[in-house]
Amino acid sequence: MRYRLLYWYGEPIIAGERVHYVGGNLARAWREAFERLGIEERSWHSVLLVGMGATLIQLLARSPNPPARLTVLEIDEEMVRLQKTYFHLPLAYEVVIGDAAETIHALTLRYDGIFVDAFVEEEVPESLIDFRFVEALRERLSEQGILIWNVLRRSQAHEVGSMLSMAFPVCRRWSYAPHVFWACAFSAASFPLPF
């Protein structure tokens, strides 16, 4: 994958051909999602990121009780290197390198928050659009936890939403064009705000 390092108003952005992987439009979308989903003030014990995201790490660090344990599944070592070099990462984290569709099966913890933000340009990798991966996410989510999946392509957003709706009793959809966020849980009580 080819990345470009850009600066916008003094802030770094890691960009591909058509998307921002870190910072820029992606950062704005995640900030808006945290606000709209009412999770800005949520406390976290453990969090899993599928796709390394400096923006998510920064947002989680602002929580009243940031996660004591943060695990990142990332396929691209270059993405990890760029983020460590150019972004402030205020939380301790563990990175597992490899395809998340495979590495997730080695995890044994259950997480209060799972954030799926993995894509190559505008597409979620095919290995993640698989019900076995969704089932693995379900097994890793704690009883009161929240899973949030960011999708850019509308056709993939529908497919991801269908799989998540089969796996979780509560699924909600929210858009911040071109992003579609699916938020899922085992109970509606996991969401601070109705939407």
Give the β-pairing of 170-176 and 179-185: antiparallel
Phi, psi (degrees; rounded to nearest 5) at 172: -130, 150
Assigned CATH for 4-190: 3.40.50.150
Could you tell me which of 37, 32, 91, 92 has the C-alpha nearest to residue 62? 91
What pLDDT does 195 receive? 53
Separation CA 111–CA 107 (nearest Å): 10
What pLDDT does 194 receive? 60
The residue to which tokens 């497919």 are assigned: 159
What pLDDT does 75 receive? 96
What pLDDT does 192 receive? 74
What pLDDT does 193 receive? 63
The DSSP line for 150-174 is EE-SHHHHHHHHHHHHHH-SEEEEE
What pLDDT does 18 receive? 85
Which residues of the chain are modeled with pLDDT < 50?
Answer: none
The DSSP line for 3-35 is -EEEEETTEEEEE-SS-EEESHHHHHHHHHHHH
Domain range summary for the chain, segments of one domain joined by +: 4-190
Separation CA 116–CA 46 (nearest Å): 15
Question: What is the per-residue pLDDT across 56-102, written as a single tens digit (0 to 9) for each?
Answer: 999 999 999 999 999 999 999 999 999 999 999 999 999 999 999 99
CA angle 171, 38, 161 (to 5 degrees): 20
